Homo-oligomer: A and B are copies of this chain.
Amino acid sequence: MTTGEPGACVLGVDSGGSGLRAALVVPRELRRPDPVRSPEPVRTGPRGIDAAHFMAQLLPMARGLLEKAGGGHITAVAVGAAGLATLGDDLRAELPSALAKALGVRRTALAADAVTAYAGALGDRPGAVVAAGTGMIAIGTDLTAWHRADGWGHLLGDCGGGAWIGRAGLEAAMRAHDGRRGGSRALLARAEAVFGPPAGLPGQLYPRTDRPAVLASFAPDVAACAADDPVADGILRAAARHIAEAAAAVCPSTETSADTSADTCEVAFTGGLFRLGEPLLAPLREEVAAQLPHARPVPAAGDPLDGALHIAAEIAAGRLRLPLDSRMLSVHGEGVTS
């Protein structure tokens, strides 16, 4: 990874529910250095993600990284942020000039977290990436535009994600408790071990503000039951079907791809959900083969922070191939028109 001038570094930032992660790539360094983390998530206010709070957390991290690297200066920054599309107005308005003023940054990219997940997984090749943890989103590009499927949150979609799987598992537990059809005594036993008496479960879930995370916390229990319990297995098979449906909706067709060398669509799956292992991955392979016969599943090369570093290096060198889009990916600064 070259950054075009001596001592010039690029900074990648990943902003999510648990805070900021940032890493610096310095010239002639092949390995990404260990990232640093902020102590708290960036606040969200009336204008969305608070740019001033973002800067207050990022600046000491960036200066610490530069110091640890033995000096240099940051020419480009790429930030991937959860909620950027809907909550990114303040970041888009304030962050590029604030970074220029405080650190002399020449170019700044602001990306939805799905875009940095994409860039981390596939770099700037056309294809489709599913990013799944508590939620689930698929994005794809033929390098002319972004296509998105799902990622609509736990009530409108995120079908097949961690909260979806955990919620379905707890519903099956309550069905067994009630004596309704579709219940699972194995999942009921798991739910009782985790949450206590079933009648107390609503009181433990609904008052919380992190309900999707509470639901997702039960997904590993569903996976653990799948080998012996047909209800749990059915939940993971349905999740795999939904995930493949989202991937199929965004996978660029070879006819419309700007990359005419592509005769197949690369598809990568990234995020904590896939640590559920074979109970999810086995049906997912089957669904991908059936629903995306022309897709080639590939391992994700890196994580969203790798994606942010990739985008930062590309904008520093003026060679970004990923398409710009006002809500998904914007670049600000010297010699940039977007």
Contact = CB atoms under 8 A, between A and B. Distances in A.
Nearest to A247: B180
A152 B201 contact: yes
A321 to B, nearest CB: 24
Interface string A191-208: 000000001111101100
A167 B155 contact: yes
B170 A156 contact: yes
A272 interface: no
A249 interface: yes
A147 B178 CA distance: 8
A206 B149 contact: no
Given A155-B215, A206-B155, A211-B155, A148 B178 contact: yes
Given A86-B203, A182-B245, A203-B86, A171 B149 contact: no
A156 B249 contact: no
Contact of A171 (B157, B175, B203, B246): B157
A263 to B, nearest CB: 22
A28 interface: no
A121 interface: no
Contact of A202 (B86, B159, B179): B86
Interface string A220-254: 00000000000000000000000001101110000
Contact of A178 (B149, B170, B182, B203): B149
B246 A155 contact: no
A27 interface: no
Copies of this chain in its oligomeric complex: 2
B174 A156 contact: yes
Contacts of A199: 85-86
Given A150-B174, A174-B152, A180 B211 contact: no
A7 interface: no
A29 to B, nearest CB: 39
A156 B205 contact: yes
A213 to B, nearest CB: 12
A314 B266 CA distance: 71
A31 interface: no
Nearest to A241: B181
A300 to B, nearest CB: 22
A153 interface: yes
A150 B170 contact: no
Given A178-B249, A180-B249, A153 B86 contact: no
Nearest to A327: B199
5 contacts: A156-B170, A156-B174, A156-B202, A156-B205, A157-B175
Given A152-B174, A156-B170, 4 more contacts: A86-B199, A155-B215, A156-B174, A181-B249
Q: Which 6 interchain pairs have the tightest Cβ spacing?
A: A149-B178, A179-B249, A180-B249, A181-B245, A180-B245, A153-B202
